[in-house]
Amino acid sequence: MSADEVLGSQPGMEYEGPDDVPILNVTGELAGEVIELRLPAMAEQIPLIRMLTHGVVARADFGLDAIADAKMAVDEACAQLVQLADLGARLHCRFQPIAGGLCVSVSTTTTEPDPPSERTFGWHVLATLARSVSSHHDALPGETAGVTTIELLLVPGTEAG
């Protein structure tokens, strides 16, 4: 199985992501609203993801602070993965609206089996900007490379306070 298959580029094979669900108990009903973007895992591409993030969270009517936080968080997650990504790998960004927020998952193929360290400044930034953040690495059967994913739960920041 190739990385692209795991990342869900085949028609009819919806990439569910191994860990879509755990952050909040989301059922599949909202899956129709999933927005995805796939592009080369290169730093030059990140501004494009940033624009899409803006569009998605502004449409979800996040507060202005939360919009800016979301963009910075996605920026950071993408930058971390671009660092780890194998040469020629693609970055897969997936935005899934869930009750009370937005689940963003960014993944790419990496030979390095360890997910990003959770003790870096970059991770501290992610943890500050997102309601929750997690990462995982899934080996691809029969290949040396696997898929590393960072998942962010973003909230609109409009609750009282």
Q: Which range of residues in 61-69, 84-92, 103-111, 143-151 is near other proteins by CB under 8 A?
A: 61-69
Determine which residue in the list 64, 88, 142, 144 makes contact with other proteins, applying CB under 8 A.
Answer: 64
117 phi and psi angles, rounded to 5 deg: -65, 140
Residue 84 to residues 8, 43, 111, 151: CA-CA distances in angstroms?
20, 12, 8, 16
Q: Where are the alpha helices (DSSP H) in the chain?
A: 3-6, 46-59, 64-84, 121-129
Judged by CB under 8 A, the stretch of 16-24, 76-84, 131-139, 144-152 that binds other proteins is 76-84
83 binds other proteins (CB under 8 A): yes
Contact 154, 66 (CB under 8 A): yes
- Least distance (Å) between residue 116 CB and other proteins: 12
Q: Interface mask (CB under 8 A) for other proteins, residues 108-147, using x and -?
A: ---------x-xxxx-xx--x-------------------
Q: How many Å separate Cα 80 from the centre of its chain?
A: 11
Cα 76 to Cα 72: distance, rounded to the nearest angstrom: 6
Footprint of other proteins (CB under 8 A): 51, 54-55, 58-59, 61-69, 71-72, 75-76, 79, 83, 117, 119-122, 124-125, 128, 156-158, 160-161
